[in-house]
Structure 1
Amino acid sequence: MEHKHFFPPQDGVSLASLAAQIGAEVTDAGAGERVIRSVAPVYRARQGDICYILSRRSKEELKTCEASAILCDKALKSLIPEHIPVLLSSSPATAFARAGALLFPTALRPVPVTPTVSGVSSAAFVDKSARLEADVLVEPMAVIGADVEIGAGSRIGAGAVIGAGVRIGRGCTIAGGATIQSALIGNNVIIHNGARIGQDGFGYAPGPAGMLKIVQIGRVIIQDNVEIGANTTVDRGTMDDTVIGEGTKIDNLVQIGHNVRIGRHCGIVAQVGIAGSTTVGDGVMIGGACGVNGHITIGDGAQIAAMSGVLSDVPAGERYGGVPARPMKDFLKDVAAALSQSESRKQKSGKND
């Protein structure tokens, strides 16, 4: 099967037009009429494709590249083969993302499973008290409960369940199999397949007969332009709210505990677990498979390296890593010392043999 079976090449746009739309500069004026139809990685890009490089590590891949254009910054222009036109950009990754969005707009959101063009499928259940604005699409087997409100242009995917009283803003996509309850959702939010939003959090009190469940009567508030990945869970608050701030992007398979408050424009990568009542500031980046303790604060702009264990507060703007997470300089020193000790033991063992 060819690479582009699910997202075939587009009719195309001229290189000059594409450059203007993504804020890049075509260095070869004669190449402006070349037609760009798709995006591709450097090593297998062919005519009609555009690709990008960010470092000199792409030098070997350029040997097999036959792209119609390559995006890069000025410092890397000399690496590009002479037969390939260059698009200069101070932020080539951002420019490439814009190019991809222009060429494949339908790939930016989960696509409908059924050919329904608009309206509510006859195979869906929508409670009579639910209020849907214009141009809302509800796919087969979706269930929309009592007193739900859904804004114009939003889509509810096949098999999704929207619990009673939920509010969903305009231009949202709730993909197939997702479940949403006890939640208020802003505009232009994307929730991918199988996500679980608003179920009760993990709260118990020990008693003589075992663990007693603590009721979870808060909400989940998801602000505008948030994206939540497949099979991610966001628990509702115990008594207060769990909040996901504007523009934050959350990967697949992330666990957000009850009462967690995540700021604006954060990035949280797959398999992160954030325990209850933690506060995450604006612009925080958390690498994959991190565990974040409950009742702590991660300050604005902090960065947490992948596979770290965050046990205590992280100051704003700091880079932390390791288990337990600590300032990156300290973590790297500890790693270097451990490697040195390991090598020393190997050498001593070899001499003893």
Structure 2
Amino acid sequence: MTSTSFFARGDGLALAELAKICGGSLSVAASGDVRVTGIAALPDAGPEDVALFDNPRYRDGLAATKAGAVILSAKHAPLLPFGVVGIVVKNPSHGFTLAGRALFPAALRPGMLTSAGGIAPTATVDISAQVEDGVIVEAGAVVGPRAEIGRGTIVGCGAVVGPDCRIGRDCRIGPQTTVINALLGNRVILHPGVRIGQDGFGYSAGPEGLLKVVQIGRVVIQDDVELGANTTVDRGSVRDTVIGENTKIDNQVQVGHNVEIGRNCILVSQVAVAGSVTIGDGVVIGGQTVINGHATVGDGAQIAAISAVAGDVPPGVRWGGVPARPMREWLRELNTVRSMSGTRRVPGKQDE
């Protein structure tokens, strides 16, 4: 089978320009006019590619690479093989991210699945909906009564935008995504299969059995939020579920009703956030972690993967375990148990 790339290369950038974008300098100043058009791993890179070197364990790959340029730190620059240009930066991983963004801007957000623009003949847009010029509604999508969608937004194939929902400008509503009872800001990205605004999980036990609790709140998603595939965000019960600006949520995350998530947070895959949780700004939550209902996670806190948060977490701490507790305490307990059983010590810094 012929190798196919789904992201076409453009005209590329001169190394001098790319070094400026990355905030670095060239190891060989005379190579500034050389152009690169792509990014690749060290073993696969060719003369038109930029590669990353940020770990000495890949020293052999660096020695054998045929990349046009390698982004690396000053301390690793002496390892560059003859003929390979270095882009020397303080933070190679961040520099490589900037390079990728510059060379493949179309890969930053999901694009159209069909070639036609505008509103597809098989899409359904209610006559009372307000759709600005430049909106694309792809095949099979539905836009409900009184919905409002800003210019530059793409509503993917089979997606549903419910009645009275508002979606800002330059958003991406992925295929088979459902947006109901929700207000979205600008540049929001919802990957395929995201479910926004369904009622939360709430029942009241009584003589009649389980009675469903009414959920009449909304979901409010602020600017530059990105939600991964098959993530679900329940609407509030009597107040809103809110996700703050520039927060990034991975695939298959559950956000319950009345949850408030701050700005610039990261929630990794399969995190489950129960109802009425408050998460501050800049919080990082590792994969498969559970946050118990009504808990508060303070600004800047970090929770290790596969943890269970039973109560409030102070700002700026690093916690982990089941139940979650300070990282140093958790690792000390693990090491004590392992030493009692004769197994090896758990790696990690005990003074964190």
Band of TM-score, shorter chain: over 0.9
User: For residue 70 of structure 1, what is the aligned residue in structure 2?
Assistant: 70
1:120-269 map, 5 Å: 120-269=119-268
Aligned CA-pair RMSD: 1.6
Letter of the 1:207 counterpart:
G
1:76-133: CA deviations, max 9, x gaps?
Answer: 22333233211111222222112111211111111211101x3111110000000011
2:102 matches 1:102: yes
Q: How many angstroms does 1:60 deviate by?
A: 3.5
Q: How many angstroms does 1:3 deviate by?
A: 6.1
The residue matched to 1:87 in structure 2 has which SS? strand
Q: How many angstroms does 1:4 deviate by?
A: 5.0
Letter of the 2:94 counterpart:
T
1:264-279 map, 5 Å: 264-279=263-278
1:36-115 map, 5 Å: 36-115=36-115
User: For residue 312 of structure 1, what is the aligned residue in structure 2?
Assistant: 311
How many angstroms apart in 1 are the aligned matches of 2:195 and 2:147?
17
How many angstroms apart in 2 are the aligned matches of 1:333 and 1:121?
60
How many angstroms apart in 1 are the aligned matches of 2:14 and 2:62?
22
Distance 1:289 1:344, change over 3 A: closer
1:196-231: CA deviations, max 9, x gaps?
Answer: 000000011112232110011000000001001110
Contact 1:43 1:63 in 2 (8 A): no
How many angstroms apart in 1 are the aligned matches of 2:24 and 2:133?
38
How many angstroms apart in 2 are the aligned matches of 1:3 and 1:93?
27
How many angstroms apart in 1 are the aligned matches of 2:244 and 2:80?
40
Contact 1:44 1:64 in 2 (8 A): no
The residue matched to 2:242 in structure 1 has which SS? strand
Q: How many angstroms does 1:64 deviate by?
A: 3.5
1:12-69: CA deviations, max 9, x gaps?
Answer: 2211121222322112112212221111122322221112233323324324322111
Q: How many angstroms does 1:236 deviate by?
A: 0.3
Contact 1:236 1:259 in 2 (8 A): yes
Contact 2:191 2:229 in 1 (8 A): yes
How many angstroms apart in 2 are the aligned matches of 1:129 and 1:123?
18
User: For residue 280 of structure 1, what is the aligned residue in structure 2?
Assistant: 279
Contact 2:177 2:194 in 1 (8 A): yes
Unaligned 5+ segments in structure 2 are 345-352
Percent same amino acid at aligned positions? 49
User: For residue 335 of structure 2, what is the aligned residue in structure 1?
Assistant: 336
How many angstroms apart in 1 are the aligned matches of 2:3 and 2:285?
31
How many angstroms apart in 1 are the aligned matches of 2:244 and 2:214?
25
Unaligned 5+ segments in structure 1 are 346-353
Of 72-81 and 167-176, the range deviating more from structure 2: 72-81
How many angstroms apart in 1 are the aligned matches of 2:95 and 2:171?
25
Q: How many residues align?
A: 344
Of 225-234 and 207-216, the range deviating more from structure 2: 207-216
TM-score normalised according to structure 2 size: 0.94
Q: How many angstroms does 1:275 deviate by?
A: 0.5
How many angstroms apart in 2 are the aligned matches of 1:60 and 1:235?
49
Letter of the 1:242 counterpart:
T
Of 79-88 and 214-223, the range deviating more from structure 2: 79-88
The residue matched to 1:50 in structure 2 has which SS? strand
TM-score normalised according to structure 1 size: 0.94
Q: How many angstroms does 1:175 deviate by?
A: 1.0
Letter of the 2:45 counterpart:
A
2:299 matches 1:325: no
How many angstroms apart in 2 are the aligned matches of 1:246 and 1:22?
25
Distance 1:45 1:336, change over 3 A: farther
How many angstroms apart in 2 are the aligned matches of 1:64 and 1:195?
43
Contact 2:147 2:163 in 1 (8 A): yes
How many angstroms apart in 2 are the aligned matches of 1:3 and 1:230?
26
How many angstroms apart in 1 are the aligned matches of 2:274 and 2:173?
25
User: For residue 6 of structure 1, what is the aligned residue in structure 2?
Assistant: 6
User: For residue 349 of structure 1, what is the aligned residue in structure 2?
Assistant: none
Q: How many angstroms does 1:338 deviate by?
A: 2.4
How many angstroms apart in 1 are the aligned matches of 2:329 and 2:55?
27
